[in-house]
Structure 1
């Protein structure tokens, strides 16, 4: 894993990676301890239920998200956030289209693998 991002990242210069299924992501900064990622969801796109060893805090920048954490579902709107503990099963459906800001600790190594 690359040790850390540049000190300054500019949106127009930072790659936006297509993930398929109506999802795209852009790295906003990371080192080995923390990673912040912007994720775009097309209308109706789904972040399928999964789990990982990382703590995660997600902030809703825009749109409406039906978020599931360990089987509990809540509707999150702009300005809302959620805390996902390590190994908690979680996922989200975005009926409107929207943007999330995800923060992970430690950094998601799998996001940086080629």
Structure 2
């Protein structure tokens, strides 16, 4: 696993990964302690309910997201954010299409290419 991304990332040059199901992901930067990722949701796309060992903070850049954390659901709009503790079940549905910035600590090893 890579230990660190380049110090500078340029949006037009950084790979965007198609995750399927109307989701795309772009790595913004990471080291051994922190990771930031941009995620695009098509209209109606769903981030399935899951959990992981990482602390996560998500910031809504654009769109409307129906976020569930441990069964509690709130509608988040641009400028809103949420904290997802380790091992909390969480997911989101995006009825409008939108963009999130996800941060993780420690980094999500499964997002880093070998």
TM-score (norm 1): 0.99
- C-alpha displacement at 1:32, in angstroms? 1.0
Aligned to 2:12, what secondary structure does the other structure show? helix
C-alpha offsets along residues 46-76 of structure 1, whole Å, 9 cap, x if unaligned?
0000000000000000000000000000000
- Name the structure 2 match of 1:69: 69
- C-alpha displacement at 1:113, in angstroms? 3.7
For structure 2, the residue ranges without an aligned partner over 5 or more in a row are: none
Question: Are 1:109 and 2:109 matched, yes or no?
Answer: yes
Distance of 1:63 and 1:46 partners within structure 2: 13
- Name the structure 1 match of 2:35: 35
Count of residues paired in the alignment: 114
Distance of 1:11 and 1:33 partners within structure 2: 22
- Name the structure 2 match of 1:19: 19
Question: Are 1:94 and 2:90 matched, yes or no?
Answer: no
- Name the structure 1 match of 2:84: 84
* Greater than 6 Å deviation, 4+ residue runs: none
